A = this chain, B = another copy of it.
Amino acid sequence: MHALAPESLKDQQSRLTGEILVRIRAKRPRIHCITNAVAQNFTANVLLAAGAIPSMTLSVGEIADFVRGADALLVNLGTFDQERREAVEIAIGSAAESGRPWVLDPVFVDRSGPRTQFAKALMGKKPAIVRLNAAEFTAIANAPAAEEPLRRFALDHGCVAALSGAVDIVTDGARTGKIENGDSLMARVTAMGCAGTALVAACLAVESDPWLATVGGLLAFAVAGECAAARARGPGSFAVEIVDAVANIDSETLLTRARVS
């Protein structure tokens, strides 16, 4: 009889992610989403597939109530207008007051000056997690999109920073994880990144460690993308299959497919 080998990082993250998904299905957390018009429907369906309950109102008269009644808040800057700008300010204030964690997805900040400024100001309002791609990181952080600047950015802002790309990098400054899963079809469907960040928010609603929640949400979504790609014939069927895959993903699939380091 011999001792068990210590659990590998890959196996540990797969197991913890599987546990987070089970908690979402059991607790059915409410996620309030301020997101762009293009992404609203797909984001809601990915959250529902995972077991969470999305709400999407932007009305300044009632968004504070919705955030107070939610378990986590998602702020996505995809289609950025006056209505959403005001909604964001109120929602983040309500989240701070009621102790709800929030996640920032600064979509397309590299494409417009006013959006960059707004996103920088939001970084001062203590998001638990920010997720962005290389161009967006460079626009907000005035730094090259690489592991070391990302670590410093996370430390400076006291948040988890997740840089998406061929390999996703997730860091809180102390811990850094890398996820190699995913499929190229994910870039061929609109709002795919937005929905992935929403899934991170759902993980954050049931997992108090934001680094684990981020790795879990991104890993689960990337593995779901691989399962979907195996069945899809193009980006149309892929968008359908990934919703099914989010609903059906389990620890065994995660253990088999995860490429985490």
**Does any Cβ of B come within 8 Å of A147's Cβ?**
no
Query: Please, which residues of chain B bring their CB within 8 A of the CB of A233?
Result: 244, 248
- Interface size on A, as a range, is 35 or more
Residues B236 and A45 in contact, CB atoms below 8 Å apart = yes
Given B55, B62, B82, B248, which contacts A234 in the complex, CB threshold below 8 Å?
A: B248
Grouping DSSP codes into helix (H, G, I), strand (E, B) and loop, the A interface class, with mixed when no group exceeds half, is: helix
Residues B44 and A41 in contact, CB atoms below 8 Å apart = no
**Does any Cβ of B come within 8 Å of A12's Cβ?**
no
Query: Please, which residues of chain B bring their CB within 8 A of the CB of A37?
Result: 37, 40, 56
Tell me the complex Cα distance, A40–B243, Å: 19
Given B41, B49, B114, which contacts A42 in the complex, CB threshold below 8 Å?
A: B41
**Does any Cβ of B come within 8 Å of A204's Cβ?**
no
Residues A48 and B243 in contact, CB atoms below 8 Å apart = no
State which residues 6-45 of A face B: CB under 8 Å. Answer: 36-42, 44-45
Show the binding face of A for B, using Cβ within 8 Å.
36-42, 44-45, 48-49, 54-59, 61-62, 65-66, 69, 78-83, 108, 111-115, 187-191, 232-237, 239-248
